[in-house]
Amino acid sequence: MIEFENVSFSYTGQEHGGLHDINLKISDGECVLFCGRSGCGKTTITRLVNGLIPQFYQGELHGRVLVDGQEISNIPMYQIAAKVGSVFQNPRTQFFNVDTDSEIAFGIENEARPPQELIERVEQTADDLRIQKLRNRNIFELSGGEKQKIAFASVYAMNPQIYLLDEPSSNLDMTSIQELREHLRLIKKQGKTVLIAEHRLYYLMELADRIVYLEKGEIKGIYTPEEFRQLSEQERERMGLRAVDLRAVFPPKPHSIAPIPVLELRNVTLRYKKRTILHDIGLSAGKGEVIGVVGHNGAGKTTFSRALCGLHKDCDGQFLWESKPIERKERLQRSYMVMQDVNYELFADSVEAECSFGIRNPDQTLVNATLEELGLSPYREQHPNTLSGGQKQRVAVAVSMICGKDLLVFDEPTSGLDFDSMTQVAGLIRRLSNMGKVIFIVTHDFEFVCRTCSRVLHFDEGEMPDDVPVTMDALPKLRELFSVSDGKER
Amino acid sequence: MSNQVNSMNKGLTVKDLVTTGIFTALLFVFVLVGGVFFATNPVLTFFMPAGGGLLAGPIYLLLIAKVHKRWSLSITGIIMGIIWFVTGMHWAFALGYLIMAIVADFVAGAGQYKSKKLNSLSYILFSLGGTGSYIVFFVDPNGWAQTMLGNGTEQSYIDTMQATANTGILIAMFAAVIITSAISAFVGCKMLKKQFEKAGITA
Amino acid sequence: MSGKRHKKGLWLDPRAKLFLILICVLSSMFAPSLAYQFVLVMLIAILGAFFGKWKYVIKAVCFYAVICVLTVWIMAEMTGTLRTMFIAFLGLFHKVYACGTLAGIVLTTTKVNEFLSAMNRVHAPKKLVIPMAVMLRYIPTIQEDWRYIKDAMRMRDVSPSLAGFLAHPGMTVECIYVPLLMAASKAADDLSVASVTRGIENPNPRTCLVQIKCGVADWGVMAVAVAYLIFELCVRGGVIG
């Protein structure tokens, strides 16, 4: 049993993410989904339950949070840990060990269980979660989805009564999300209490018992999944929430303008460390076209994007720009990649300096106009690191516009974004498309693809078997590519 | 009922230890990258500590800015010492880093880890740790060369070693370390002010 | 469980390996002449062969043989300051080479978790084990980060090379340090949260999944190492006085 009694919290030196007067009871075995816009306080709720507030994050706390009648702020962290397990958003920075077995055992090692029990628990966990094939591996070789599974396994091995998941699907592909759902189903069947803060809602609709909608730190509504499904699309979008059912997401009406081809790839083969990643790819893309790129982890999406941008060296075949061959160095000049972790490409000490960074004679009017256009003017003096994820992304896009890049690649631009930010990115991409840029988007996000892309490239096993237009006619194929299932079970 | 949270003044927390670990990894890599070019070159071998000191300043200063508690730098030194030792570096090199890191910790601590001047001085001292193995050489050049020359150490060698040129090398080595690490600390201070404090990642 | 770790060749306790490195350092320090150094490298090569690292040890021994010949030649031919330089360099080289070769074997045959288990077994304090574990885990992350940063730099027309650094020192420095340290800082927060919520603050001593034990092989290898050191010391003592 978890009880929030008149809980208010505000972070020191931070406006967003606080909570006002929360009252809520969650009984044992319940699965509760917390949703709402970024900064609505849903993550803060999870932090109150696992004790990170007040023991790790500083701020002002009023009211009481009780777990099984005990006040969380009075229990030491390690005792809370035995009761409450937490899984976080970023799989890259959650693990402590280099190999998977030790990572799974990390929590139970801290609990100082005897060695024989450790071995049994790890064995049991791997069996229950069906991750035997991930055992005894180097974590750095795993994909994001596999890392997330190990993080979940590590918590599972501790066998807590309560599971907290803070945006666990942000960095996962479709298959991994389905596997995550299976894991959640398993712990629910075991009678565990599950609290999830999420933007992506569709995969949780069958699991959640209650859905709590938060706005500006207050509970604005508590729904059952049935009630929640009844919400009209307008209503839901006004609340700033992502799709509840991907089967209700459709491509837009076809836009009839045939684009003028500008980029062409002929017989392109890509290799990495002498291994062929992609074989004999041919395609052409027009000015203003927005092309989605999908495929499993390791299917070659990253190598493909890097080759497009002229960052990958080991490739055969021809790239043509306006019918003329374009060499690697020249592609590098023309293209820009907006990385999934955009922090790697922000170097300067203010947004404004970032926009003219590395340019010898920056055109100040262009900088100002671009910042204005992307709604970044109010932040021009701020350090890029102090911005939100969506804002950072826009800074990167501003850079690409000022540098006059024609070919843009976005790597998972919607990971961890709420509905509002997602539509903003979609709007941004439409604007770039209207400017005549060629845009590639590597993504798993079906909703986003339907809003932005005109076609989708599918990579699999070193080939490009599909090049599908995003239209109603191709809907069955699109659903197959994004694993949007028709029935309830796969 | 209000609950003002405070986690200061409690010794090293888990967060401090994790931060120390991560920054030690960065320090290690940057010292290695800076030094490796000199280490493998017989003529420039004496400038290896200087090369090692050139790159790591900003990392060291940010570590102090993030943790600013006693023992964090000492732990860094102990870990570096263990890693150098395990990777087969000369024992005096490992020992040098260990001792100088502890000294550096106390120097930075004298200014409550807040004085940029003392923190910079602390970095210079830390970098001097890399001279350990060369000091052993200068203290006992005979012993050093004995293995190679057999026991009949020639007079001419002892003469060369006692010639002023060698004191010159010793001074040049220390001067180089002090200069490069001072530059590195200077750049680090600038960067701390310009970037990291503004970005809000210092504690 | 343990079967998986014994895939090929010998398995030694990390503590025994640490002891070997220590003895190796001492043996290098007290080696009476180059010949003894060479024997030491040969012994290490035999150990490497037991671990199944044939290629590595053959290369290591051949390279060392060449350097030894070179050393003899330089000692006979050169004079003056250059000679001093070489003596310092080669002196360091010879003292370090054996340990370096051994370290190469140790590092490639020891898993991080075994090493940490050993630290646990010798009752190293948590304040040391935690940063150490984090450090070992973070080094590959730096490598990954650096790959992204290089890409980002190239797209901004900043060359991630020495030439690029000389052309635009200020800019290159920012490009390298800023994202790397921002990422490090964020990783520090995330990792502390992830470990605190899994109970790392538990005051009871941790247990360890990987169990290490000192067996016959460990004692055997250590005995050989100590014997060689004593032999060296006897030779030295006998000759000098």
pLDDT of residue B71: 92
* Contact predicate A338/A397, CB 8 Å: yes
The verdict on residue C217 lying in a domain is: yes
Domains A2-244 and A261-481 share a fold: yes
Each residue's pLDDT tens digit, A281-300: 899 999 889 999 998 877 88
Tokens 């180089």 sit at which residue? B176
In this structure, are C177 and C221 located in the same domain? Answer: no
What pTM value is reported for the model? 0.91
pLDDT of residue A347: 93
Residue B163's pLDDT band, with cuts at 50, 70 and 90, is low
The verdict on residue C206 lying in a domain is: no
Q: Where are the alpha helices (DSSP H) in chain C?
A: 2-5, 14-30, 34-50, 54-77, 80-109, 112-121, 126-155, 162-167, 169-196, 216-240
A13 class by beta-carbon count within 10 Å (0-12 exposed, 13-18 middle, 19+ buried): exposed
For A261-481, CATH number out of 3.40.50.300, 3.40.50.2020, 3.20.20.120, 2.60.40.2130 equals 3.40.50.300
pLDDT of residue C241: 40
Residue B164's pLDDT band, with cuts at 50, 70 and 90, is very low
Radius of gyration of chain C (CA): 23
Domain extent listing, chain A:
2-244, 261-481
CB B151 to CB C132 under 8 A?
no
Q: How many domains does chain C have?
A: 2
ipTM above 0.85? Answer: yes
CB A383 to CB B198 under 8 A?
yes
CB A101 to CB C113 under 8 A?
yes
Whether the predicted pLDDT of C148 surpasses 90: yes
Residue B159's pLDDT band, with cuts at 50, 70 and 90, is low
Q: Residue B194: which of A55, A61, A349 has the nearest Cβ?
A: A349
The verdict on residue C205 lying in a domain is: no
pLDDT of residue C194: 93
State residue A122 phi and psi, 5-degree precision.
-65, -45
In this structure, are C17 and C105 located in the same domain? Answer: yes
- What do you get for the CA distance between the two ends of chain B, in Å? 28
pLDDT of residue B39: 76
The verdict on residue C204 lying in a domain is: no
Q: d(Cα A435, Cα A394) in Å, to the nearest integer? A: 16
Each residue's pLDDT tens digit, C192-236: 999 999 999 988 888 888 888 888 889 999 999 999 999 988 887
Residues of A with Cβ-Cβ distance to B201 under 8 angstroms = 385
Chain-wide mean pLDDT for chain B? 83
Residues whose CB is less than 8 angstroms from the CB of residue A423 and which lie 6 or more positions away in sequence, other chains included: A451
Check if A385 contacts B (Cβ < 8 Å).
Answer: yes
CA-wise closest residue to C112 among A112, B16, A139, A118? A139
Smallest CA–CA distance, residue C85 to chain B, in Å, is 6
DSSP for A178-220, please give it: HHHHHHHHHHHHTT-EEEEE-S--GGGTTT-SEEEEEETTEEE
Tokens 């998986």 sit at which residue? C4
Residue C6 vs residues A348, C2, C11, C222: alpha-carbon distances, Å: 50, 7, 6, 20
Would you state the structure tokens that stand for residue B149, as one six-digit string?
């020359």
* Contact predicate A201/A244, CB 8 Å: yes
Degrees to nearest 5, angle at CA C116 with A136 and B26 = 95
Residues of B with Cβ-Cβ distance to C104 under 8 angstroms = 88
Nearest-CA residue of chain C relative to A305?
C151
The verdict on residue C203 lying in a domain is: no
Q: Summarize chain B as % helix, strand, coil (round to 5).
A: 80, 0, 20
Residue B138's pLDDT band, with cuts at 50, 70 and 90, is confident
DSSP state, residue A212 = E
pLDDT of residue B2: 35
Whether the predicted pLDDT of C55 surpasses 50: yes
DSSP state, residue A363 = -
In this structure, are C106 and C131 located in the same domain? Answer: no
Domain that holds residue C159: 116-196
Check if C77 contacts A (Cβ < 8 Å).
Answer: no
The CATH code that applies to domain A2-244 is 3.40.50.300
In this structure, are C45 and C59 located in the same domain? Answer: yes
CB A93 to CB C152 under 8 A?
no
CB A58 to CB B199 under 8 A?
no
Q: d(Cα B119, Cα B104) in Å, to the nearest integer? A: 8
Would you state the structure tokens that stand for residue B156, as one six-digit string?
């001419």
Smallest CA–CA distance, residue B191 to chain A, in Å, is 9
pLDDT of residue A417: 86
In this structure, are C15 and C83 located in the same domain? Answer: yes
In this structure, are C220 and C106 located in the same domain? Answer: yes
Each residue's pLDDT tens digit, B175-192: 999 999 999 999 999 999
Helix H or strand E encompassing A354? helix A351-356
Q: Where are the alpha helices (DSSP H) in B68-163?
A: 72-86, 91-110, 116-128, 132-139, 141-149, 155-162
Low-confidence ranges of chain A (pLDDT < 50): 487-490
Whether the predicted pLDDT of B127 surpasses 60: yes
Mean pLDDT of C35-53: 89
pLDDT of residue A345: 92
Q: How many CB atoms lie within 10 A of CB A283?
A: 15
Would you state the structure tokens that stand for residue A5, as one six-digit string?
């009694």
pLDDT of residue C3: 35
Q: d(Cα A201, Cα C84) in Å, to the nearest integer? A: 72
Q: d(Cα A112, Cα A121) in Å, to the nearest integer? A: 13
Residues of C with Cβ-Cβ distance to A84 under 8 angstroms = 197
CA-wise closest residue to C89 among C100, C97, C101? C97
Residue C61's pLDDT band, with cuts at 50, 70 and 90, is very high
* Contact predicate A466/A477, CB 8 Å: yes
pLDDT of residue B6: 39
Whether the predicted pLDDT of C166 surpasses 90: no
Q: d(Cα A27, Cα C232) in Å, to the nearest integer? A: 73
